[in-house]
Amino acid sequence: MNQKYILPDPWSIIEEGFDAEKVKSSESLFSIGNGAMGQRANFEEDYSGETFQGSYVAGVYYPDKTRVGWWKNGYPEYFAKVLNAPNWIGIKVSVNGEDLDLHTCDQVKNFRRELNMKEGYYRRSFQATLQNGTEVMVESTRILHLDQDELGVINYKVTALNKDAEIVFSPYLDGGITNEDSNWDDKFWDTLSVSEADHQGFIRSMTMKTQFHICTYMQSDILVNDSEATPAYTSEKKDQYLQFNYKVNISKGDTATLRKYAGYTVSHHHKPDNLVNAAKDAINAGRTMGYEGLKASQAEAWSSIWEMADITIEGDVEAQQGIRFNIFQLNQTYLGKDARLNIGPKGFTGEKYGGSTYWDTEAYCLPFYMATKDHTVARNLLVYRYNHLQKAIENAEKLGFSNGAALYPMVTMNGEESHNEWEITFEEIHRNGAIAFAIYNYVRYTGDISYVAEKGLEVLIAIARFWQQRATYSTHKNKYVILGVTGPNEYENNVNNNWYTNFTAKWCIEYAASEIDRLKQDAPAEHTRIMEKTRLSADEVTQWLKVSSNMYFPYSEEHNIYLQQDGFLDKELITVADLDRSQRPINQYWSWDRILRSPYIKQADVLQGFYFFEDHFSQEELERHFDFYEPFTVHESSLSPCVHSIQAAKLDRMEQAYTFYLRTSRLDLDDYNKEVEEGCHITSMAGTWLSIVEGFGGMRVRDGHLEFHPRIPKHWDKYAFKVNFRGQILKVTVSRQGNSFELSGSEPLSIKVKGETKTITPSN
Amino acid sequence: MNQKYILPDPWSIIEEGFDAEKVKSSESLFSIGNGAMGQRANFEEDYSGETFQGSYVAGVYYPDKTRVGWWKNGYPEYFAKVLNAPNWIGIKVSVNGEDLDLHTCDQVKNFRRELNMKEGYYRRSFQATLQNGTEVMVESTRILHLDQDELGVINYKVTALNKDAEIVFSPYLDGGITNEDSNWDDKFWDTLSVSEADHQGFIRSMTMKTQFHICTYMQSDILVNDSEATPAYTSEKKDQYLQFNYKVNISKGDTATLRKYAGYTVSHHHKPDNLVNAAKDAINAGRTMGYEGLKASQAEAWSSIWEMADITIEGDVEAQQGIRFNIFQLNQTYLGKDARLNIGPKGFTGEKYGGSTYWDTEAYCLPFYMATKDHTVARNLLVYRYNHLQKAIENAEKLGFSNGAALYPMVTMNGEESHNEWEITFEEIHRNGAIAFAIYNYVRYTGDISYVAEKGLEVLIAIARFWQQRATYSTHKNKYVILGVTGPNEYENNVNNNWYTNFTAKWCIEYAASEIDRLKQDAPAEHTRIMEKTRLSADEVTQWLKVSSNMYFPYSEEHNIYLQQDGFLDKELITVADLDRSQRPINQYWSWDRILRSPYIKQADVLQGFYFFEDHFSQEELERHFDFYEPFTVHESSLSPCVHSIQAAKLDRMEQAYTFYLRTSRLDLDDYNKEVEEGCHITSMAGTWLSIVEGFGGMRVRDGHLEFHPRIPKHWDKYAFKVNFRGQILKVTVSRQGNSFELSGSEPLSIKVKGETKTITPSN
């Protein structure tokens, strides 16, 4: 790992001591969000040291003009990019005439950050001695409210420690923000108005081109020693900026507090010309509840999330902290309220990666949301792709496909492709498979078969069409081959017959065809409607099945394994263990050609297929493939260790599974990849959950029943998780002494544990 | 073809009639150059219509910061880019108070351009009626002098046709130029001074970063009806600009002429602070000879080039015009005087493609210069690479190679890589082979074996080392394989075992090893010196030979051919003939993945190997491979038709050979690729010469003897070319009636014609 400064604690992320070198990392780790907006843990007061400012509004993006060295046909001309939004957290603080700035003050003591995951707030406190000799204690608590998700509140306390002090609080709004990640230094936001009235301030902004409207707003109350004391204020207004100045004189030992109620109202939910009024409503609602009321209701809201989603681990506080951090961040990023939103790879913690949606959503995040929320949340994730189907069809048309074949984008915000490297954009097509598999996985888990006829089958048909057209008949092999792809292992580009891709393609076609058959029997009217809507004939399905039933899979007789792709055995097969440590991570030390011709695997590829499609393979096959491929895997993708943890657990290799678990769960906390300052790896956090529930817990759904195969790492005394299975809540506790299952529900639940059927009776 | 407006003429390129749509194309086609500088055929007077201004100085470049979507280790941070240089051709012309501008004047008649290739000048003439009713006839002749290669002259004549006229000539220099092709809109030039003295003007400029100094200069004389009449002048001076104004009043029917002596003096040849003095010398030399004198000596210089390099074709004026255009452009671009220079793919006709040197130089251009110039010219092309050897070794080190292995850059100006697409920069490594082959080819043709010991062997050793390290031992195949390459056919990327690359690698190693052996026998001192300098041991050579002797070549038993690469037969093998015409060129209509998984070949790949290494293959093998691959070849590289023309001729398929010949020789004149406005394809022009001399003429050198196998297309009555073979000049004439060989030299020459040995006696 790269750095390890976060203090172990079961419920909080804690940093103690001020280190300017860690400011950007901590800004990522202590980020907060509420699904609708979020922000990096930037200081409220001015900070002239190195910082990466970031505040984001879910679903608000800008179509940045694509930049590329050499243009290729089919690249998107524009793509949706996550936007840094106006700043509403800012509070300039002047103490006896000197600006408070941790970069310039004489001394900083007792600096502490806490991200309280249990109650959902971020608190920072410190003592600072200014150059003018005044010593103050500061404590700032920030909440992005889960229920009123356009509202945030900051409780900013300044205590005069060594002398009387004149404190000037200058809360402000700043619409003049820029993006770190911008192709052409375009201006992304147009400020429409800056207005104020009676302690309230508003900046209305609109994104260029996409014309999302937001109103950034604030109102502040001032307290002295807990008594309300809001003084008169002056204001400073610029083109894109508004600041109020509140002057308070306090005596030595007294505390002045500013409570800033602020946030964004957004045109997703309001008419553009009603945004200021909506902001006034939000302020009023916030001030009515007050800071304490908001904090209490926030704790309640998080309590109900934790009630369902928490995983407890006894005997290993770092593992406990890790899994809670992952669950917390996932819930901060996406709560499933809005089918227009999705789970960005950096959430609200940074700007890296344009767009918000990768195959990560379907491949890693969906099971977490299925099991820890009402099934409408997972359904919304599927509907998101259904709503993008037409754009996926247009995307495929740009690449020469026809007849309603769809290629979902590699990266997207609004259904359009946001990536432009040919080897990824055009070739990493396995993503289509994950989108089809998610429908299967959702129906398997939730039993909500109605989704298939209602929406899912159209997606399955469009994807099956893509695979049928994308395969090439090789007269030479007398089989269908899939040429020129990049598999999940992105350390191979433009390979032929990537086993994972070929298997996925075959599976997608067969699943689509079987669902068509099923509907024909079970819901002939729906079947007719969909066949007509998609202009699908039985003949065409026959063509699909010709491809799927004659798909080629590269295989090694010698090793008795499927080959990751054609020609894999021609590589120099030196395992990672024999690779000089100084060469790793290879993506930092090797040129791309060297990576490509090496055997090293960035993330699970064949094993990813064994994970998705486990019922197609025996334990022995899994073991052979794990033993062959894992030694070549460098896990330089955040998505790799979790799958390996699950597979190692399945093979009863608990020590290895535990090592992979730690790597995935503390990836950001311990900054394994030396990049946490750019933001956290949100989507891979769902993989951490998987590695406990599906890995250690061995949870599967087969034939409509939950199955478990509980195992426990030797470092742990006990762990427990809950899953929402078709409206009933099952709590699974695994300990050295044995396992227990506790059910809250209306009727008994029949499950299998290590192959044995058990019926669990509701305990409530 | 795209457009066909150039009038057929054996010695000139002629356009008649003014068409604003064709201005940019003609600016490319009528470009002039003298090896040291060159420029597009921009108008001297102002033109407010669409134009692409370009003036270039050989060897002057700027290290533009690399721009790329996703950075890969090993990409160059900067790369050398051809620069648009200050403009010295400009002459503003005012007629009775109105600016002459073909875009705004009332009428243009009798517009004509002529690029006189025989005498080496560019002339443009027209009649224009201005908005003020004045009608003038203009004739402008421009020369870039071959012998005094820092000097140009423009003879600009204005005749008043319908009334008396006040003509104001305002010749100017403009240092404030920009590049069409710039990554960051950097300023490339710094203007150091603008000065004038007694009709002379100078702008001193320096390139940013590279600090090349040039002085752009001018002096003009005015004539009225051929009498000198230089009037007093006024001047206008700006930061980067200098203009003189000469006012002349002429009567109806009279002609006013401005003769502008101008050009660049360059720090390649002068100390920076002596550039203005050098410019004064150039002006004086030019004015002493005068325009007529310069024009006459230019004609003489071209006459001596043509004397040796001309190819005559009787009975087919378009073919004649095509070959002369190609020979003319090659000589305008590179004359071999300076080993720091090379042959840019656009010469002095445009900016596309950063850097100046591709494998085109070795693979296509070298034979032309070997046969039509003194052998020092070809030798300079080899020395250019020798001088870049250390940088090629550093380039390989960036990619993980060691021990003096060299990878020459894909594109370069100064030895550093100027390209950054991983599939090209890192993988199109066959370029190394062309550089080794050029040494073999040069020695084979010229007999100048001394070059090997003196310089060549060090290059061969570094290249052999690269291949040995780049090959991978496949335990699976029990052979050495070369993984992850792009062959000459750039419509395949990151393939394994590209046959051409593997064969080239084997050949390079064996050639290097055999030259080491030869030296050991023939020149033991040299051998010892080189072995020590390169720290090469006999053991290491044994390691090389292990690779070369166990190289894997993909082969199809079924088709009895070598496969272009592993897996080629898995493609859907639909020939170009069966490909919908509307889909071509595929690079304009298809996405990159579709191109890659198609069987379509951009340019000769296996057949390129059969061309270089023809002695290793039988005629039958050539025929089988030609018949297999040519039907899949789309020839979307300018370098493809020439090789196919040669191979078709060798197979006695003269009609096909002729079609390929026309396509290569008139590629730009008829704008086959719809892009001539960006500049001409200079390097492929050498391929045109090859297709006559090596294709139709069947010229080869074997065992130190010239061999011919003359053939003639049915469209031609006769053709003739000359080659300089080891100091003797052999003229070969091929006609329907028979062939003749005429020798100017000191002793008889023994040649083979269609396998029969003949001895040719000198006729002089």
Give one DSSP letter per residue of B472-520, joined into a string: EEETTTTEEE--SB--S-TTS-SBS--HHHHHHHHHHHHHHHHHHHHHH
| B351/chain A closest Cα distance in angstroms | 15
Flag whether A209 is in a domain: yes
> For residue A665, which of A362, A325, A363 has the smallest C-alpha distance?
A325
Interchain proximity B570–A399, CB inside 8 Å: no
Record the tokens describing residue A302, joined without a space: 């998080």
B432 with B467: CB under 8 angstroms? Answer: yes
Flag whether B178 is in a domain: yes
> For residue A460, which of A483, A479, A443 has the smallest C-alpha distance?
A443
pLDDT in tens, B251-302: 999 999 999 999 999 999 999 999 999 999 999 999 999 999 999 999 999 9
SS3 B373: coil
Domain limits at B267? 31-309
Flag whether B301 is in a domain: yes
Record the tokens describing residue B261, joined without a space: 């002596």
The secondary structure element, H or E, covering residue B434 is helix B431-446
Interchain proximity B67–A67, CB inside 8 Å: yes
The C-alpha atoms of residue A569 and residue A560 are separated, in whole angstroms, by 12
Model ipTM?
A: 0.90
B92 with B243: CB under 8 angstroms? Answer: yes
B186 with B84: CB under 8 angstroms? Answer: no
Flag whether A338 is in a domain: no
Interchain proximity B596–A566, CB inside 8 Å: no
The C-alpha atoms of residue A260 and residue A156 are separated, in whole angstroms, by 8
What are residue A261's phi and psi, to 5 degrees? Answer: -100, 120
Chain A: residue nearest B484 by CA? A597
Interchain proximity B591–A483, CB inside 8 Å: no
pLDDT of residue B67: 74
CATH number, domain of B116, equals 2.70.98.40
The C-alpha atoms of residue B345 and residue B668 are separated, in whole angstroms, by 13
What part of A 41-100 touches B (C-beta under 8 Å)?
A: 67-70, 72-74
Mean per-residue pLDDT pooled into runs of 10, chain A (764 residues): 88 97 96 96 97 92 79 83 90 98 97 98 98 98 97 98 98 83 69 95 93 97 93 94 97 98 97 97 97 98 97 97 97 90 89 79 96 95 97 97 97 90 96 98 98 98 98 97 98 98 98 98 97 98 98 97 97 96 92 97 97 98 98 94 97 97 93 88 94 98 97 97 97 96 95 97 86
The reply to whether B227 touches chain A by the CB within 8 Å rule is no
What part of B 458-477 touches A (C-beta under 8 Å)?
A: 472-477
The C-alpha atoms of residue A528 and residue A523 are separated, in whole angstroms, by 9
Angle at the Cα of B137 (from B132 to B141), degrees rounded to 5?
Answer: 130
Interface test with B, best of A586, A593, A598, A628 (most B CBs within 10 A): A593
What single-letter DSSP state applies at residue B578? G
The reply to whether A566 touches chain B by the CB within 8 Å rule is yes
What are residue B704's phi and psi, to 5 degrees? Answer: 80, 10
Q: Which amino acid is at A441?
A: N
What part of B 589-618 touches A (C-beta under 8 Å)?
A: 589-594, 596-597
B723 with B732: CB under 8 angstroms? Answer: yes
pLDDT in tens, A304-358: 999 999 999 999 999 999 999 999 999 999 998 888 889 988 889 988 766 579 9
| B646/chain A closest Cα distance in angstroms | 31
The reply to whether B181 touches chain A by the CB within 8 Å rule is no
- pLDDT-based confidence at B352, cuts 50/70/90? confident
Write the burial class of residue B182 (CB in 10 Å: 0-12 exposed, 13-18 middle, 19+ buried): middle
pLDDT at B183 over 60: no
Interchain proximity B73–A588, CB inside 8 Å: yes
Q: How far is CA B340 from CA A749, B269, B334, B414, B459, in A?
A: 83, 12, 11, 8, 17
* Minimum-distance CB partner of B484 among A72, A481, A593: A593
Is B603 labeled as ligand-binding? yes
* Minimum-distance CB partner of A69 among B68, B74, B594: B68
What part of A 419-438 touches B (C-beta under 8 Å)?
A: 420-423, 426-427
Q: Which residues on chain A are in Cβ contact (under 8 Å) with B426?
A: 591-593
Chain B: residue nearest A559 by CA? B476
pLDDT of residue A185: 59
Is B306 labeled as ligand-binding? no
Catalytic residues of B: 490
Record the tokens describing residue A569, joined without a space: 């055995």
Cis peptide before B554 (omega within 30 of 0): no
Flag whether B59 is in a domain: yes
Interface test with B, best of A570, A571, A589 (most B CBs within 10 A): A570
pLDDT of residue B391: 97
Flag whether A248 is in a domain: yes
pLDDT in tens, B570-598: 999 999 999 999 999 999 999 999 999 99
CB count in 10 Å sphere of residue B447: 14
Is B243 labeled as ligand-binding? no
* Minimum-distance CB partner of B472 among A400, A423, A570: A570
How many Cβ pairs within 8 Å bridge chains A and B?
127
Q: Which residues contact B239 (CB under 8 A, 6 or more apart)?
A: B176, B191, B194
pLDDT at B353 over 90: no
| B671/chain A closest Cα distance in angstroms | 22
| A553/chain B closest Cα distance in angstroms | 13
Catalytic residues of A: 490
| B418/chain A closest Cα distance in angstroms | 12
Average pLDDT over residues B308-313: 98
Flag whether B303 is in a domain: yes
Interface test with A, best of B565, B593, B595 (most A CBs within 10 A): B593
Chain A: residue nearest B185 by CA? A184
Interchain proximity B476–A569, CB inside 8 Å: yes
Interface test with A, best of B402, B410, B592 (most A CBs within 10 A): B592
Name the one residue in this structure whose structure tokens are 């000539």: B169
| A595/chain B closest Cα distance in angstroms | 10
Average pLDDT over residues B39-45: 97
pLDDT in tens, B60-96: 988 888 777 778 888 888 877 788 899 999 999 999 9
Flag whether A130 is in a domain: yes
A381 with A700: CB under 8 angstroms? Answer: no
A86 with A294: CB under 8 angstroms? Answer: no
pLDDT of residue B185: 59
Interface test with B, best of A185, A478, A568, A592 (most B CBs within 10 A): A592
Torsion of CA B287, B291, B292, B296, to 10 degrees: 100
* Minimum-distance CB partner of A484 among B400, B589, B597: B597
Side-chain half-sphere of B46: how many Cα atoms within 13 Å?
A: 13
SS3 B114: strand
Q: Which residues on chain B are in Cβ contact (under 8 Å) with A68?
A: 69
Interchain proximity B483–A570, CB inside 8 Å: yes
The reply to whether A239 touches chain B by the CB within 8 Å rule is no
Q: Strand B55-57's sheet: what is its strand order?
A: B32-33, B37-39, B55-57
pLDDT over 70 percentage in chain B: 98
pLDDT of residue A1: 56
According to DSSP, the residues that pair with B412 across neighbouring strands are B357
- Long-range own/partner contacts, residues A580-586 (CB < 8 A, 24 or more apart): A584/A634, A585/A634, A585/A636, A585/A673, A586/A491, A586/A634, A586/A636
Average pLDDT over residues B232-242: 94
pLDDT of residue B554: 98
Count of domains in chain A?
1
Q: Which residues on chain A are in Cβ contact (under 8 Å) with B70?
A: 421
Average pLDDT over residues B412-418: 90
| B422/chain A closest Cα distance in angstroms | 7
The reply to whether A182 touches chain B by the CB within 8 Å rule is no
Q: Which residues on chain A are in Cβ contact (under 8 Å) with B473?
A: 572
The C-alpha atoms of residue B30 and residue B644 are separated, in whole angstroms, by 28
Interchain proximity A590–B422, CB inside 8 Å: no
Record the tokens describing residue A85, joined without a space: 């939004």
Helices B640-650 & B682-690, crossing angle to 10 degrees? 0
Interchain proximity B572–A473, CB inside 8 Å: yes
Interchain proximity B596–A494, CB inside 8 Å: yes
> For residue B751, which of B692, B689, B703 has the smallest C-alpha distance?
B703
The secondary structure element, H or E, covering residue B719 is strand B718-725
| B473/chain A closest Cα distance in angstroms | 7
Q: Which residues on chain B are in Cβ contact (under 8 Å) with A590?
A: 73, 400
What part of B 478-497 touches A (C-beta under 8 Å)?
A: 481, 483-484, 493-496
The C-alpha atoms of residue A493 and residue A501 are separated, in whole angstroms, by 13
